[in-house]
Amino acid sequence: MNKRLHILFLCGWFPSRVSPTNGDFIQRHAQAVSLKHKVTIFHIISDKNTKKTIEIDSSIINGVETHIAYLKQTKNPLKKGFLFFKAYKSLLDKIDFFDLIHLNETFPFGVLSLYSKWFHKKPYIISEHWTGYHYPNSKNISFLQKKIIKIITKNASFVCPVTNDLKKSMTKLGFKGNFKRVPNVVDTNLFYPIKKTNFTYTITHISNMINEHKNIEGVLRVFAKIEKQVNEINFKIIGNQSDKYLSFARKLNINLKKTSFINQIPHNEIAKELQNSNLFVLFSNYENLPCVILEAFSCGVPVISTDVGGINEFFPQDFGYLIDVNDETDLFNKIIQMFNGFKADKNKMHNYVEEEFSETSIANQFTTLYQKTLNR
């Protein structure tokens, strides 16, 4: 029987009162691991609204002990670094013995992991999701930051990018480590196929609504053309402040009775929206491995996505189509093809996600790495 370990999740991104949905994919990784181990979560973030120098909020979230330190905002980088370190030590005083650190976001939180390894003999592994390692975004990584990241990855027992494509981008930058791909997790008990109750063909887009990243305007231009050819079709645009694109939609003469702009919704409602969709569309300029594509698959919903990042590593051929970045003509044509009779094997899609990305699958993958780390 595998020993139940105590894993400290040290998170650079995590949902908080400052940013309620930031890093929710990391929270889901932690919840998956908690099926087999005790998990404690640390997150530290600056908060312009806190009056205390350091304010610690401790709670149990979905069964996981969670500690978030809110720091008084400062523009002084030295003072900010000191406060982060002080908050980290205060958080460590709140918990008992733990076996290892599971770091999420290599920089800057990896500096705290180095401290715990060098001074308290606590090994660590890294999960990495950051799109900033991909060119041309990688040009924004400073020389000093690169130097520090090299030390952090070299000292990690394992570096776990969510895709091999992300691994390539990291190694091109000179970051060496013991790489082992571990993808994002999907709650397959929440995301599963249903018999669709809405009989109008529905196309859904869910994202962070950042145009430079997700190309929302490109999606809307294609939708405007499609609705002129197809009558019985609805579009749903879901995400934070999606209604900021209403004026752009009006310029395109999009029928707002057929196109809905829905602001950020809870995760369980995302499942309902996908379950009642016929097609999910993502037209991003860059990505790693979007959870929402895997969640669509788990609901038995086919996907059209741009072929960016590591998406093609987890995209079976009969689950939809991959297209080139900014190719609005191909997006239009592929949507029409889907509308005209693409048949998805819903059970096959759900079973694929269950085997590869379920909480049990991801927990088992991390458990293997934890045991290898501690056996060294």
Report the CATH number that the domain containing residue 174 is assigned in CATH: 3.40.50.2000
Whether 28 and 155 map to the same domain: the answer is yes
pLDDT at 1: 45
Give me the DSSP letters along 77-109.
Answer: HHHHHHHHHHHHHHHHTTS---SEEEEESSTTT
Whether 176 and 255 map to the same domain: the answer is no
Total structural domains in the chain? Answer: 2
Q: At what angle do helices 359-375 and 346-357 cross, to 10 degrees?
A: 20
Asked, for residue 196, whether it belongs to a domain, the answer is: no
In the numeric block, which tokens belong to residue 370? 């934890």
Q: Are strands 64-72 and 54-61 parallel, antiparallel or unpaired?
A: antiparallel
Q: CA-CA distance, 50 to 65, in Å (whole number)?
A: 22
Asked, for residue 193, whether it belongs to a domain, the answer is: no
Asked, for residue 80, whether it belongs to a domain, the answer is: yes
Asked, for residue 290, whether it belongs to a domain, the answer is: yes
Asked, for residue 192, whether it belongs to a domain, the answer is: no
Whether 142 and 278 map to the same domain: the answer is no
Whether 349 and 277 map to the same domain: the answer is yes
Whether 212 and 154 map to the same domain: the answer is no
pLDDT at 3: 87
Whether 79 and 134 map to the same domain: the answer is yes
* Closest alpha carbon to 302 in 230, 350, 231: 350
Asked, for residue 94, whether it belongs to a domain, the answer is: yes
Asked, for residue 231, whether it belongs to a domain, the answer is: yes
pLDDT digits (tens, 9 = 90+) for 96-152: 999 999 999 999 999 999 999 999 999 999 999 999 999 999 999 999 999 999 999
Does the bond joining 108 to the residue before it have cis omega, within 30 degrees of 0?
yes
Whether 41 and 176 map to the same domain: the answer is yes
Does the bond joining 183 to the residue before it have cis omega, within 30 degrees of 0?
no
> What is the extent of the structural domain holding 125?
6-185+358-375
Asked, for residue 205, whether it belongs to a domain, the answer is: yes
Place of tokens 């879901």: 238
Whether 205 and 344 map to the same domain: the answer is yes
- Strand ranges (DSSP E) for the chain? 6-11, 38-47, 54-61, 64-72, 100-104, 124-128, 158-161, 201-206, 233-238, 259-262, 279-282, 303-306, 320-323
Whether 80 and 111 map to the same domain: the answer is yes
Q: CA-CA distance, 49 to 355, in Å (whole number)?
A: 43
- Torsion from C-alpha of 310, 311, 313, 315, nearest 10 degrees: 180
Q: Yes or no: say if 260 and 273 are a contact pair by the CB < 8 Å rule.
A: no
Whether 175 and 298 map to the same domain: the answer is no
pLDDT at 164: 97
Whether 163 and 253 map to the same domain: the answer is no
pTM score, two decimals?
0.94
pLDDT profile of the chain (376 residues), mean per 10:
89 94 94 97 96 96 96 94 97 96 96 98 97 95 97 98 97 97 97 88 96 98 95 94 96 95 94 96 96 98 97 97 98 96 93 97 98 94
Whether 265 and 313 map to the same domain: the answer is yes
